[in-house]
Structure 1
Amino acid sequence: MHLLSAGCLGAVLFSALLSQVSSLGTIYGLFGETLEIPCKIEGAKAEDIIMTKWKYDKGDGLSGNLLVKQKDQVSVTAGDDYKSRVSLASNFSLLLSEAKLSDQKTFTCMVVAGADIFEHSVNVVIYNSTENIMLQVIAPEPLVEGGNVTLKCEADGNPAPTSFHFHLKGKETVTVENDNTFTITNVSRDTTGEYKCSLIDNPTMEASKDITVNYLDINLSPSGSVEKNAGEALAVNLKVDASGEYTVSWTKDNIKLDKEPNFTKLTYTDAGLYEYEVTMGALIEKTHSSWLFKVLHINGTSPNESSFINGKVTHKITVVPTANLTVSCTVSNDYGTDTKNITVSSHQSEDGDQTKLVVGVVVGVLVAVLVIGLAYWVYMRKSKQGSWKTGEKESGSSEEEKKLEEKVEENSQKAEV
């Protein structure tokens, strides 16, 4: 009889253990079903088995005990969820009831038969024939025309499905294999609708989502710079075509208005910068129109506006008024507003009478000159005829002629003035 020291016995047992460890195998079970995990011990006879033990890998190098069988007695040593779910089959396999996804671990059976120790490890994978499927829409917020949207289909099966059907608004079905996404590019308002995804091996299991492509179309009439006459009507028409509920607000020269502007009879105070803002969710559309009411015709008025030169614009109008009036000129820019009133007086009738008076005076003077000249000519003729007739030289005749000539010259000067 040979006796071995404890060190030698340990070395022998370790050597025997290494020679009896089988390679790692894998078995597959169904979720919720009872799983049988085999214990393969080649070379060991059932009558020679002294003890059978099952354990599992808890991770981080730790192991958890499940049960032990010595002779004909089985003791469950598990202290966790496995306590009520484990048992031992007659062939030493581990029976695991109500299989869960968390049971995907490595289970090991250890068998002591005579002087030999056997170990066999099994990797367990739990399949989960999918209970829930979900369709996810990946898109910018808000989704507007021209953008892209990705459909992502996910299922809770194990292993997770990797191939799906994508149903596009019930009009088209696209099959994607080894991927769970499908991307729609350059979307438009026509993309709006219901989308679905389903399992290829079970089309009745499906999920759906609604996709809405937002749009906001606005048309304002009139728009831009509008020129109208004072007293005319101006109808403002704002048309909005949107994919959802929206609100509209108006301002005039940055002052909020209570309602949309509409004019039955324009006044000069209606002129200004009108702006509207249309809001629909996260979409905001802003724009403005400059409505300028120019006086184009007042009793023959002809406007003339110079170019913008050296920070100055000159606007001239020619007015032929029939009565007194006040012309108001208002200018404004980002730095403020200024108004100047110009009073135009009407003196047309008075000017007309004055002209007639001046013309009458001039005509009267001319007539007086002619009369004096004619009288002088007659006088001189009579004087000469008398002289010629009598042949006598009247005393003082040259002095009288000199005075008469001076008188004529004086009247002539008055007529020229």
Structure 2
Amino acid sequence: MDSPALLLLALMSAGTLLQVQGNVIALYGETITVPCNGGAAPPDDLMFIKWKYEKEDGTGDLLIKQAHKDQATVQATDEYADRVSIDDKFSLLIDQATLKDQKTFTCMVVSGVNLNEYPVTVVVHKKPSSVEIMDKADVLQKDKTSTVGTCVAADANPAATITWTKNGKPLVADGKAILITPSMKVDPATGLSTTSSILQYAATKEDKDATFSCMSTHEQATEETKLDPFPIHYPSEKVSLQIMSKAPVVEGDNVTLKCHADGNPPPSAFFFHIKEQKMLVENSDTYTLTAIDRADSGEYKCSLADNEKMEGSQSIVVNYLDLNLNPTGKVVKTFGETLSVKMEKSASDVAKISWTKNGKVVKEPAFTKLTYADAGVYKCEVSMHGLTREKSFELVVEGKPVITSLTKHRAGDAQFKVLTCEAQGVPEPIFQWSVNNSNEESSYINGKAIHKITVVPKVNLTVTCIVSNKLGDDVMTINVSSVFKEEKQERGSQEDSGDQAKLIVGVLAGLLIAAAVVGLIYWLYMKNSRQGSWKTGEKEAGTSEESKKLEENNHTV
């Protein structure tokens, strides 16, 4: 027996053994580190440290490390022989942890006076190697318990716990709509546990967008696996007929009917009831009525091909609009005649009526006595619910030409005169003049014609304007004086006016001179008379009557 063993026996017999229990959790497949005395420093008088473990039939030695040696001596001869070692803190290292390593390992510290043992229990954990949902359902049946899937958390220690959720909330088995069946299996070779859970669920229509998840819970990890939303199958409970064409429906439209059933999957065959005829449509849910007319107004139905009691209906009102106008096309009338315009409409609803003449809005035309201004293109438009009808006629008012005026004009001292002849008539009248002319100008608007000519009359003339069209003619004359005689007369008039002015001035001058002479004579006479009386200062002799008269005259003066 070697010296460490002899010393160990001596210490044990002396009763100095001390044991302190500890625990270590290791990870499957990794290195297990078992500390000696919780990692505390060894005593100063350390002699050696020995690691051992408990076996079913006793105790097994692993290794021994003497204080004065660098290397430890491996004593194990079983599966630990190649897996154990010791570090500089005297911790036991075990490579490639397995569940078989879940044992109690003891670190024995021997010093000069003491022998202490520090047992450590090792537990090996392993998270599930995989968490997946198997046997997934394709669809779920409404109100029928169906298997959603089987969730499996494989190869774990301890065994994982599985929880099912819907839309993030845990599902609790109720024995009716929710059934959860858990199970667990241990691999005899590795000792690892595989946990399974089967979810059965009775779906509702509201579950068509639901998300089911499997949650695996373990000391080392929590993992969630989600399923895509399931289609929920259920029979149709309601059928409706829809009008897919634009509203409102107007005569001539193509109208598509759609039969809608709320089942899932949707039915693939329907009956459409068209004018008391039953039309079978397969692999489609629509039927199209082409070029619908007013006679097609009424109620329409559709039903499931495998259950005709499930049906829907819809009424269709076909809007229509008719317009009749009299007259239409080109209408030729004579000036002064009457024209009756009659418009008739037939519509399924209130329609809007508008009139235009040559593109401009006007009132409904009424002609009691046609004029040239009434001519034009008249259009009647009737509209309702997007439906439009229009009719038109072109009114032409014809008449024999009538001259309305014939005038002459001379601009300043020009050596010519401009004659203007105005007339009304349709078709456009032709102008003829009885004199030679130049610089002709003409216009024709709304039955009114104007024609201008330039003439140079050397003598006095009587000029005739003649207008004509296919319906007749008209004539008017005008006197035109010679431009040369007019100039001579104007000059003569100017000379006579000058002579008369001179004569008047002479007469006025003579009268003024005569008046001045008479005034002067009178002034001299009066002066002389007064000077004779004032000079003598005496009264002239005379009768008493003369004296009185003279005195009265003096007072009067």
The structure with the greater share of residues assigned to helix is: 1
Say if 2:387 is the partner of 1:283. Answer: yes
Residue pair 2:149, 2:200 contacting (<8 A) in 1 also = no
Structure 1 pair 38–139 and aligned structure 2 pair: CA distance change class (3 A): closer
CA distance in 2, matches of 1:270, 1:292: 8
Q: Highest CA radius of gyration, 1 or 2?
A: 2
Counterpart position of 2:278: 173
Q: Secondary structure at the match of 1:3?
A: helix
Counterpart position of 2:238: 132
Residue pair 1:137, 1:150 contacting (<8 A) in 2 also = yes
CA distance in 1, matches of 2:164, 2:368: 93
CA distance in 1, matches of 2:360, 2:146: 81
Alignment of 1:111-190 (within 5 A): 126-140=232-246, 143-168=249-274, 170-190=275-295
CA distance in 2, matches of 1:249, 1:22: 74
Say if 2:159 is the partner of 1:55. Answer: no
Counterpart position of 1:193: 298
Q: What is the number of residues matched between the two proteins? A: 280
Say which of 18, 29, 33 aligns to 2:141.
29
Aligned-partner residue type, residue 141 of structure 2: G
Structure 1 pair 27–285 and aligned structure 2 pair: CA distance change class (3 A): closer
Say which of 307, 318, 322 aligns to 1:202.
307
Alignment of 1:12-411 (within 5 A): 14=129, 23-25=135-137, 28-30=140-142, 33=143, 35=145, 37=147, 53-56=162-165, 65-67=170-172, 86=178, 99-102=204-207, 126-140=232-246, 143-168=249-274, 170-258=275-363, 260-295=364-399, 315-316=429-430, 331-332=444-445, 339-340=449-450, 344=474
Structure 1 pair 100–186 and aligned structure 2 pair: CA distance change class (3 A): closer
Residue pair 1:142, 1:214 contacting (<8 A) in 2 also = yes
Residue pair 1:36, 1:93 contacting (<8 A) in 2 also = no
Residue pair 1:35, 1:99 contacting (<8 A) in 2 also = no
CA distance in 1, matches of 2:246, 2:146: 49
Structure 1 pair 330–136 and aligned structure 2 pair: CA distance change class (3 A): farther
Q: Deviations over 1:16-66 (max 9, x none)?
A: x99xx8633567533xx473659889xxxxxxxx998551475xxxx7632
> How far 1:269 moved relative to its partner?
4.2
Aligned-partner residue type, residue 243 of structure 2: V
CA distance in 1, matches of 2:307, 2:205: 22
> How far 1:290 moved relative to its partner?
1.8
- Tell me the TM-score normalised to structure 1 length: 0.50
Structure 1 pair 330–273 and aligned structure 2 pair: CA distance change class (3 A): farther
The unaligned stretches of length 5 or more in structure 1 are 42-49, 69-73, 77-83, 111-120, 299-312, 319-328, 348-417
Residue pair 1:232, 1:265 contacting (<8 A) in 2 also = yes
> How far 1:177 moved relative to its partner?
1.7
The unaligned stretches of length 5 or more in structure 2 are 1-55, 57-98, 103-121, 152-158, 184-196, 217-226, 403-426, 433-441, 452-464, 467-473, 478-557
Say which of 74, 92, 100 aligns to 1:3.
100
CA distance in 1, matches of 2:150, 2:232: 20
Aligned-partner residue type, residue 322 of structure 2: D
Structure 1 pair 199–331 and aligned structure 2 pair: CA distance change class (3 A): farther
The structure with the greater share of residues assigned to strand is: 2
- Tell me the TM-score normalised to structure 2 length: 0.39
> How far 1:294 moved relative to its partner?
1.3
Structure 1 pair 140–28 and aligned structure 2 pair: CA distance change class (3 A): closer
Structure 1 pair 3–40 and aligned structure 2 pair: CA distance change class (3 A): same
Q: Deviations over 1:334-377 (max 9, x none)?
A: xxx85549895689xxxxxxxxxxxxxxxxxxxxxxxxxxxxxx
Structure 1 pair 276–152 and aligned structure 2 pair: CA distance change class (3 A): same
> How far 1:151 moved relative to its partner?
1.7
Aligned-partner residue type, residue 29 of structure 1: Q
> How far 1:236 moved relative to its partner?
0.9
CA distance in 1, matches of 2:450, 2:180: 107
Residue pair 1:142, 1:283 contacting (<8 A) in 2 also = no
Aligned-partner residue type, residue 196 of structure 1: K
Residue pair 1:37, 1:122 contacting (<8 A) in 2 also = no
Structure 1 pair 53–124 and aligned structure 2 pair: CA distance change class (3 A): farther
CA distance in 1, matches of 2:255, 2:296: 10
Q: Deviations over 1:180-214 (max 9, x none)?
A: 12223343444433322222233233222333444
Q: Deviations over 1:52-87 (max 9, x none)?
A: 8551475xxxx763248xxxxx9x9xxxxxxx9756
Aligned-partner residue type, residue 3 of structure 1: K
Residue pair 2:240, 2:261 contacting (<8 A) in 1 also = yes
Percent of aligned pairs sharing the same letter:
31
Q: Secondary structure at the match of 1:204?
A: strand
